[in-house]
Structure 1
Amino acid sequence: MDPAVARNLKRRVAAALHRQISDEQRATATDPDQAGLRQRGRALIEEEVARWSEDYSLAHGVPPTREQDRALAEAVYDLLFRAGRLQPYLDDPEVENIVANGCDDVWISRADEPLRRVPPIAESDDELVELLQDLARRHGGGERLLSTAHPTLALRLEGGMRLQALMAVTPRPYVAIRRHRVASATLGDMVRLGAVDATLAAFLAACIRARKNVMVTGTQGVGKTSLLRALAAEIPPHERIGTLETEYELWLHELGRLHQVVPMEAREGNGERGPDGRAAGEISIGDLIPHALRMTLNRIIVGEVRSSEVVPMLRVMTNGEGGSMCTLHARTPHMIVDRIAELCLEYGPRMTDALAYRLTANALDFVVHLTMVDETGVGGRRHRFVSHVLEVAGLGEGGRPAMNEVFAPRDGEPRGVPRTPPSCLDDLRRAGFDPRLLDSPHGSWSAPLQLQVDGRGPGRRPDPHANGREGGAR
């Protein structure tokens, strides 16, 4: 299948489809639905492929095979309605990340495998930009732009994958696509994946039922959104929830567990700048929060706090009924307080470190920190797990929030195990938590985490039976 032929046929079909739709809109003043549009596109593609096949036969004396015709038709359909030559990787459920440094420097990573190079996804950088612009036009949350005047693009793809692209400010167009492999997560799923043990799962479930305000932190790709989705699965189904995201990733309004979800998605501006320096038409998460508060919501969940919206989010946690949640990028649990303060200072000149610390201490009940140990480079796998659960216990020394380590690593075990009972233990007991679960210093892990490199020198960890713990494979 010649990509140049597919690209040429795609443009012909797009032109013919545009003519059909324009004629119909003039006649009926209605827009076709997406399913109908794709059905018409299929028919036009079959016609164009049949013409090409006939021309090919006359030119070469041999007709293309049925498989070649089918492959060409699928390639044209992918270019017109899907993601072009990216589509096979998007369809592969094992592919976690796709990165492109230009059209021909393309890499993918599958679960527990390092990045590996794959064939080009376009014939030129211009063609790659055209593909990205097509994806932006088809974006479900309103049109998004990619151009020299608007050189960044962030959007969701079919299936919930997230795309980020840059051009004009980089020497070539750069693309990064990330997949959430656990689309409908529960805490039970997190236990099966090894992210938490049964003790920690029971503790987190009780935190949600007890309406504690929770912030999930960690680095990119560590599983913050999956864990946030799993925590949300513990919310009573009758509660009314609002979700605020830059691109829909939680999908709580489609999973069906919660009966009343008000999903809100931020909107980019059109490139023109107003007197305040903001793009005309832009609606940020921070803009949405005051309106969300008027929607009679029991809880608000922010997919990711990235900037000054942290201030209205913390105020929601302080003034609301409790039980709100969000995620935040932070490399280590010890950086979280300063990371929140940094974002608070972006809110305006009247914000100070002291006010940011007070907001944090009043708003948050728990911080759940995820860690990833990537051993794919030494023949191992990627381990993603909760390493810390920190209770925010008011203001401490120096006016900074005081933190209690409720769960943290112990005795060479990098995963979070019980350390200090929280001060709100009675609240969690009322929500069904058994405090005796915190008595085991090693939680309910059946064996230590098996790592290729574990900080104890060469070789594997010792037999877990040696210290009286229960053995067994993880």
Structure 2
Amino acid sequence: MPGPQLGPVAARPAGGRVAFWSWGTVRELRRVLADRLAPEFQAYKELHGTEMPDADAQQLGRSLLNDLVARWAQDYARAHQVSPTGEDEQSLVQAVFDAQFRLGRLQPYLDDPELENLMIHGCDEVWADYANAPRRRVEPVADSDAELVEFLQHLARRHGQGERSLSNANPLLALALDGGYRMQVMTQVTPRPYVTIRRQRVRDITLEDLVAKGTVSHALLAFLRAAMLAGKNIMITGTQGVGKTTMMLALAREIDPNERLGTFETESELYLHKIGHLQQVVPMEAREGNGERGPDGREIGQITIADLIPPALRMNLRRMIVGEVRSSEIVPMLQAMSGGEGGSLCTIHVRKPDAIFARIAQLCLEHGSAGMTQELAYLMAANALDLVVHIRMVDETAAGGGRHRFVQHVLEVTGAGERGGHPAYNRIFAPAAGEARAVPTGVLPSCLPELEAAGLDAAWLTAAAGAWPAPLATVRTVV
């Protein structure tokens, strides 16, 4: 049987040498492979009543692919009087396999353990952030913008949970990718396809690990551990990429393995149900609509985090963990925190810790009911939250330094403010002269008896320099 007809062979832009195959070869072989897989998948579904498991699909795909590439190599040898090497064939197999089952030309970048962010401004303008290194431009990820969009549509169709699409009706796409990546795509509302891929570098991390990384001190570890054991509701704040999700994962490691909890995310990123520490996790992910709107103005099929919270309260959950608060989930989340047993977690984007209550009020007014007021929003926040943990990142890579991520403030919410003002709070940890990271302020939390009952030694709250082993080593003075 003759192999598939392919485009012209060109230099492969990887590996630093001329190869026998081009990315056009990969595209054509992937289409052939997909056509041959389709009836196999359909037959499996008709026989078993379910989709073929990923591991089985990949094993079948690789078997078919080995045969396809072997036939391609034979055809190439006959046409050009030179045979591709075994290395050429295997590199082609892997490239097509990545295109069908993984992330195609993105995969080599995402396999790099030092990658933090990948930013794509059209097919040929790609920028990468690596750990403790300046941002740099890297090789293209497609031969044209149309090819890039086609591949992104392929990823959307392949997404396992929920309905995801990239089309004229839905020019925005958000996906959680294997390996702890979160992808955001914009098309049509931008001059070219724009893609940002952010990496959650670790999934299973502890507070001790954060001490080793310089994110928290021993005093903060003792305080946060006691707060989790005491069932305090904690909001983690900071700007994008500072490590809010990493902090949430570390705090979740302090939860008793037998406690029942639910996770609420727009795109799955926490994976607490897969890490193995917690035995009873109900993972919930929002679902996009199909682009059409019903009589109520909402997209048909859409399920938001706000929609998930009320029914989740009937699932006997002790704690709720909301991956990111950014819209209509703010009101039901605060209500659930107020009436729950405590110990829930959430993250929210805010630049300064003192602005957190204004941010909460803003979201409540934008997404709450017609009767929502700023005063009511403040009251809800005061009743729901116990602690605010603010994280900061200082990026000195452009000056030859590194990226420093650390807890900068810890606020204890103590109740409603005066005359409808923002909630009252104590600043338990904050920066000090000569130290940009959080150190004890000397103010003892009003919940100290509960924290001591949970194992906190109050001496940590008066520890010299906050028990940091040494001042933060930076290239420049941090203000």
TM-score by structure 1 length? 0.94
The residue matched to 2:380 in structure 1 has which SS? helix
- How many angstroms apart in 2 are the aligned matches of 1:371 and 1:183? 20
Instruction: Determine the structure 1 residue equivalent to 2:373.
Output: 352
Is the counterpart of residue 53 in structure 1 residue 73 in structure 2? yes
Offset, 1:317: 1.1
TM alignment of 1:42-441, pairs within 5 A: 42-346=62-366, 347-398=368-419, 399-419=421-441, 420-441=443-464
Match of 1:436, as an amino acid? A
- How many angstroms apart in 2 are the aligned matches of 1:3 and 1:225? 36
Contact 1:213/1:324, CA 8 A, preserved across alignment = yes
**Alpha-carbon spacing, 1:226–1:30, altered in 2? closer, same or farther (3 Å):** closer
The residue matched to 1:104 in structure 2 has which SS? coil
Q: Which deviates more, 191-200 or 395-404?
A: 395-404
The Cα offsets for residues 195-219 of structure 1, whole Å up to 9 and x where unpaired, read as 0001101100100100111000001
Offset, 1:455: 5.3
- How many angstroms apart in 2 are the aligned matches of 1:321 and 1:32? 41
**Alpha-carbon spacing, 1:300–1:30, altered in 2? closer, same or farther (3 Å):** closer
**Alpha-carbon spacing, 1:102–1:213, altered in 2? closer, same or farther (3 Å):** same
The residue matched to 1:338 in structure 2 has which SS? helix
- How many angstroms apart in 1 are the aligned matches of 2:401 and 2:153? 38
Contact 1:371/1:384, CA 8 A, preserved across alignment = yes
Alignment gaps of 5+ in structure 2: 1-20
The Cα offsets for residues 331-357 of structure 1, whole Å up to 9 and x where unpaired, read as 111211100100011213211000001
Offset, 1:308: 2.1
- How many angstroms apart in 1 are the aligned matches of 2:120 and 2:401? 25
Instruction: Determine the structure 2 residue equivalent to 1:468.
Output: none
- How many angstroms apart in 1 are the aligned matches of 2:240 and 2:382? 25
Offset, 1:114: 1.7
Contact 1:97/1:176, CA 8 A, preserved across alignment = yes
TM-score by structure 2 length? 0.93
Contact 2:291/2:300, CA 8 A, preserved across alignment = yes
Match of 2:382, as an amino acid? A
Contact 2:263/2:281, CA 8 A, preserved across alignment = yes
Offset, 1:24: 5.0
Instruction: Determine the structure 1 residue equivalent to 2:5.
Output: none
- How many angstroms apart in 1 are the aligned matches of 2:147 and 2:299? 27
**Alpha-carbon spacing, 1:37–1:360, altered in 2? closer, same or farther (3 Å):** same
- How many angstroms apart in 2 are the aligned matches of 1:239 and 1:33? 30
The residue matched to 1:443 in structure 2 has which SS? helix
The residue matched to 2:232 in structure 1 has which SS? coil
- How many angstroms apart in 1 are the aligned matches of 2:255 and 2:49? 44
Contact 2:119/2:197, CA 8 A, preserved across alignment = yes
The residue matched to 1:447 in structure 2 has which SS? coil
Contact 1:308/1:345, CA 8 A, preserved across alignment = no
Contact 2:62/2:97, CA 8 A, preserved across alignment = yes
Offset, 1:388: 0.2
Offset, 1:439: 1.4
The residue matched to 1:438 in structure 2 has which SS? helix
RMSD after superposition: 1.4
Match of 1:421, as an amino acid? L
Contact 1:315/1:363, CA 8 A, preserved across alignment = yes
Match of 1:440, as an amino acid? A
Offset, 1:276: 1.9
- How many angstroms apart in 1 are the aligned matches of 2:225 and 2:276? 19
The Cα offsets for residues 131-189 of structure 1, whole Å up to 9 and x where unpaired, read as 11111111121331001110111111112211111111111111111111122111011
Contact 2:65/2:93, CA 8 A, preserved across alignment = yes
- How many angstroms apart in 2 are the aligned matches of 1:373 and 1:28? 53
The Cα offsets for residues 14-45 of structure 1, whole Å up to 9 and x where unpaired, read as 11111333355556655422222212211221
- How many angstroms apart in 2 are the aligned matches of 1:43 and 1:2? 21
The residue matched to 1:297 in structure 2 has which SS? coil
- How many angstroms apart in 2 are the aligned matches of 1:293 and 1:191? 34
Match of 1:300, as an amino acid? M
Q: Percent identity?
A: 57
- How many angstroms apart in 1 are the aligned matches of 2:85 and 2:277? 48
Offset, 1:446: 1.6
Contact 2:408/2:430, CA 8 A, preserved across alignment = yes
- How many angstroms apart in 1 are the aligned matches of 2:251 and 2:44? 47
- How many angstroms apart in 2 are the aligned matches of 1:165 and 1:66? 37
Alignment gaps of 5+ in structure 1: 457-474
Q: Which deviates more, 115-124 or 46-55?
A: 46-55
